[in-house]
Structure formats: structure tokens, C-alpha cells
Structure 1
Amino acid sequence: MNNKRKVGATAAAFVLFVLLAIFYESPLLEALDRTLSEALAGAEFLGVLSFLGNPETVAAICLVAIVLLLIRRSPRDALFIVLAVGVGFAINEWLKEWFGRPRPDMPDQLASYSFPSGHAQMGLLYVSSIGIVVMRRIRPIFWRWTVLAVAGILVAGMGLSRIVLGRHYATDVLAGWAAGTAYLFLLLILFSYWNRDRIES
């Protein structure tokens, strides 16, 4: 994907996030929250994927990936994952505090804020950043599509699991995906210019 398309993807994801942030209390989006929550009521099996987005799990998987990349002398790819996950986490925490949206009302609910979903945003960022690094090292189209499909399933599963478990509204999850996508493509743009400068020099 060239930088023009990356800019377009960044802008589209950012606009989606802004619209969700402005209108998540509107009757239309509240109806969407209820509809998706009811539609996923029987999908308890998705709940098992929630642990993949827990901070401890994300940190452990990313640490292993970073160490392996440093061993293989790929510091730029390691830095890409560090920035995607580290800065992405800080952005998510800041956004949660900024909007201060309470989580859905349920027993033993988490004390932190709800918007945007950290599992959705961080799940997208760490799975996608590692997936991008892996795909750069794979030539056969079949395996590249396999990595893409697995990443998509994991990201979707982690986000939807939070709705199934009652930890988030659907709009929280959508906003997490939107924020994560916008930041990921922005980071890809920045790294593409950095790599171009290194090649030209």
C-alpha cells in the first residue's frame, strides 16, 4: 500500500473515531449498542479470546517478539512494535480519561473507563504490528494471506469478546479499532519515510 492510501486509511479511521466520540450517546448509536449486545448474547465462546488482549498477555507476547527481532538484528522492526504498542497504550489511557465514559452496568464491573476499548485498540495494534513484521519476511502469497486472516480473526475476537462479557459497549470496541487503525497507519507512514531516507543516504 502506497502512502496516499495509507493517508486515506488514517483519515477515514480518524473520522470514524471522531463521529463515534461525538455521537456515542445518540439514540442511534445507543440502539446499535443494544442490538449488537443482544446479537452476541449467545456467543460466549468468544469470551475465551479476551485474555489475548489482557495487558499482561500483550506485554509478554510483544517482549518475546522484540527480543527475537533484536537477536535477528532487526532493530527497526523491534522499534516499530515498541512504538505501536507502547505509544498506543498511552493514547488509549489518555482517551479513556478524556471521555470518562462509564462501563456497562453489571455486577463486578471494572473500575476503569470504557471509551475506547483497550482490548480492541491494543489487540489491533500488537497483532497487526507483529503481523506486518512477519509478512515482510514471507514471500508465498498463501502464507501472507494466512497471516492476514489469522490476525483479522484474533483482532475481531478480542474486540467482540468484550461485548460478550459485558465489559464494553459496541461503540467502545468500534472506537478502539478506529483509534488503533488511525495510529497504526500513521506509524506506517512515518516509518516508510524513515526507511526511504536510510535507502537514499
Structure 2
Amino acid sequence: MNLKFQLSIALLLSLISLICFGFMAFFVSSHEIVHFDRTVISFITGFESPTLTSTMKVFTFIGSSKTIIILSVLILFFLYKVLKHRSELILFLAVIGGANILFFSLKLFFHRARPDLHRLIEVSGYSFPSGHATNAFALYGIFAFLLWRHIPTRLGRTVLILISIVMILSIGVSRIYLGVHYPSDVIAGYFISGFWLTMAIWFYQRYKEKSSIGSRIR
């Protein structure tokens, strides 16, 4: 897969994610997604059990800001000391930092109250979009992107992608299960994070391409 094709795919995915987020924001603002939210919440909470509640609390803790910061520091150390990468540190920080700025700003803009249907934990702040979902998609998405090229086997890459998907989905579902987010909050978090992640990758790949061309000319 050549670089130009990769850049086109990244840009296309970024635009699609942004458009999808726009639709979600419109449906939430116009209250046209209430039935969808309630249906999904009812389905997920139908599996409630003490064991599952404990499991969901673990996933929501993994997706918390404190844990994200700790994991980010560990990943940065791994990138710098083990893989000897420097430009990728900037990409990683841009993705995580940008994702946080985006969801904080959007929460303040939309002012959506959290659901009060069946809350198993208490949290403060606005609901839309989900910060946990946004951070999970950004963290595991960028880590998978950066680690992908260092895994030589197809099996290893498949395992990497599956683990990332499981973590992203589990953290998002945990917020719905615990009653602190609507499903539309979580989906919107995935979309806005997907937009920022792919856009950051696009800029990074463009930078690498220009640097490569410049070094060949010199």
C-alpha cells in the first residue's frame, strides 16, 4: 500500500468521522435520538449482575483520565527508550491532547445532562460526547498505529487490532451500563476521536513524506 493511498484513506476516514459526528450532534440537539438511546440502555442494563457490574467498573476505571495519563506516560517511555522514536512522540501527544481539548470543548458547547435512568456510579459534568469513549479511541487507536509497523507477523497484528477494539468498545459500553452516558454520547465520542486521530495521522504522514523527499534532494 503506497503512501499516497494511505494519505487518501486517512483523509477520507477523517471527513466521514466528522460528518457522522455532525449527524449525531444534530440528532441529540433536536432530541430525535431519545428512543434509540433508551432502547440501547434497556438492552445493556438487562444483563446487569454483580459480576458484570464489577467488570464494567474496572473498564470505566481503565478509561478514566488518571489511568489515561499513566498509560500515556508509559507509552511515551516505551516509544522513546525502546523504539527510539521522537517524531512519533509528538504525534502521540497531539492525538491524546487534541482529543481531550475536543471533548471538553464540545461538552461545554452542548451542555447535555447525564442520564438519570439507572445510575450505578455517580459522576459530575456534562454528557455529550463521552470523554471515556473519546480517550479510549484516541489512545488505543494511536498506539495500534504506532506499534503496527513493529509487529512482523499477521497474527501479531491481528491480536493488536482485536485487543484495541475490545478495549475501546468495553470502555464505551461500561459508561452506558453504569448509567453515566447515553449510547449517543459514546458513539459521538468515537466519531470525534476518529476524526482527530485520522487527521493527525494524515498530517504526520504528510510531514514524513515531505521530510523523505527533502532528504533525497539534499
Q: Same fold (TM over 0.5)?
A: yes
- TM-score where L is the length of structure 1: 0.94
2:31 and 2:17 map into 1 onto residues whose CA distance is 22
- Identity rate of aligned residues, in percent? 22
Aligned residue in 2 for 1:5: 9
SS at match of 2:192: helix
2:62 to 21, 40, 52: 52
TM-aligned CA deviation for residue 107 of structure 1 = 7.8
User: How far has the Cα of 1:189 moved from its partner?
Assistant: 0.5
Which aligned pairs between 1:84-163 and structure 2 lie closer than 5 A?
Answer: 84-105=95-116, 106=119, 109-163=122-176
Structure 2 unmatched ranges of 5 or more: none
Q: Structure 2: which amino acid aligns with 1:5?
A: I
- Contact 2:137/2:168, CA 8 A, preserved across alignment: yes
Q: Deviations over 1:128-160 (max 9, x none)?
A: 111111112111111001100000000000011
Task: Output the amino acid matched with 1:135.
Answer: W
Say which SS state the counterpart of residue 77 (structure 1) adopts. Answer: helix
Q: Given the alignment, which residue of 22, 26, 34 partners 1:18?
A: 22
Amino acid at match of 1:147: L
SS at match of 1:116: coil
1:102-124 CA-partner distances (Å, limit 9, x unpaired): 11124864221100000000011
Deviation at 1:25, TM superposition (A): 4.8
Long gaps (5+) in structure 1: none
Provide closer, same or farther for how the CA distance between residues 100 and 27 of structure 1 changes in structure 2, counting only shifts above 3 A.
closer
1:69-84 matches, cutoff 5 A: 69-72=79-82, 73-84=84-95
Q: Say if 1:125 and 1:181, in contact at 8 Å, map to a contact too.
A: yes
State how 1:56-71 maps to structure 2 within 5 Å.
56-71=66-81
Contact kept, 8 Å, 2:120 with 2:179, in 1: the verdict is no
The alignment's C-alpha RMSD in Å is 1.6
Q: In the alignment, is residue 171 of structure 1 matched against residue 181 of structure 2?
A: no
Q: 1:71 to 1:102 in 2, by over 3 A?
A: same
Instruction: Identify the range of structure 1 (88-97 vs 46-55) with the bigger mean alpha-carbon deviation.
Output: 46-55
Structure 1 CA distance for aligned equivalents of residues 29 and 43 of structure 2: 20
Residue 205 of structure 2 is matched in structure 1 by 192
The whole-number CA distance in structure 2 between the counterparts of 1:152 and 1:5 is 19
Shift of 1:28: 4.4
Please give the per-residue CA displacement for 1:34-83, whole angstroms capped at 9, x wherever unaligned. Answer: 11101111153434211111001000011011022122420112111111
When the two structures are aligned, how many residues end up with a matched partner?
A: 201
TM-score (norm 2): 0.87
Equivalent position of 2:38 in the other structure: 34
Task: Return the alpha-carbon distance in structure 1 between the equivalents of residues 120 and 159 of structure 2.
Answer: 39
Distance 2:212 2:200 in 1: 18
Structure 1 residue 162 displacement after superposition: 0.2
**2:113 counterpart SS class:** coil
